[in-house]
Structure 1
């Protein structure tokens, strides 16, 4: 299981996550007092992103094993991984996951798969994403998933 400290201990990993995946650990210290989640559970902001949203570990137990939520600056929220390890595997496999949500036809998985086929080519040639994926798969032992 990948732990938050595994990410925080490596400046190269922090930079890869921010530049290639818009998962900026340095933004976790920002002011997120506006976040209100129901039902109320404790949460830890683990990263921010460029449009003002945040990624949270949310729930009970050890933060590293908690579900990861993405909260937009507009007040929407959703679960994006069962834990940090799963979320990172999804992000590395599908760096365009936010685009897929936009073109999901209201959450239709078949629509997301169709959109993925179109969007994938743009990211497959992105050197920053390719370099970050190679580095992160090696350093963090992220499991490759066939159907994220």
Structure 2
């Protein structure tokens, strides 16, 4: 068990069962940081390090100067969207544990509206319980091994981080990547309409 409050990448790597649980079902894979990410160009130009990847080809990266565990985290999807998702690694882990469906909340945010994200969470929590029966056990394993903070309002923290994005990606042709906030709302998902 890690005794300090700041979680580092080394803390995770020392616990293979935690690393595995973060990879699945939380889709935060440290081994995928070794993939080829030469397509990443930040605007404004900022030092960065890819710390993890995800199953669809997206990446989590820390950016700025200093120890990685204290730097903000940017998420870049494989579909051309990017944004800040956490102020540091410890906060990101708190978000992943509390709302593993965080990407869906951004997708159904109606362009970044907190109330739409909260509404989407009511549907997503139910779907995740059904679709990922191994999630509670994986969550318990991670929480028993790492001092992950219980975030008072993880949806608002995620929302505020994405809204305060100060660095994004730029494509080779110079086009800036889109925001992680998508324009869909929960009303657009037919399976959520009674």
**Same fold per TM (> 0.5)?**
yes
In structure 1, what is the equivalent of residue 26 of structure 2?
21
TM-score normalised by length of structure 1: 0.95
1:31-70 alignment, distance < 5 Å: 31-70=36-75
- Give the gaps of 5 or more residues in structure 2: 1-5, 155-194
Give me the whole-angstrom Cα distance separating, in 2, the residues matched to 1:41 and 1:60. 8
Structure showing greater Rg:
2
TM-score (norm 2): 0.74
Q: Distance in 1 between matches of 2:12 and 2:48?
A: 18
1:144 to 150, 157, 165: 150
**8 A Cα contact 1:3 1:84, kept in partner:** yes
Q: Distance in 1 between matches of 2:80 and 2:13?
A: 27
Q: Which runs of structure 1 show a deviation greater than 4 angstroms over 4 or more consecutive aligned residues?
A: none
Whether contact under 8 Å (1:104, 1:111) holds in the other structure is yes
Q: Deviation per CA, 1:25-45: give whole Å up to 9, x if none.
A: 111100001000111111111
The alignment yields a C-alpha RMSD, in angstroms, of 1.1
2:168 corresponds in structure 1 to none
Aligned length: 148
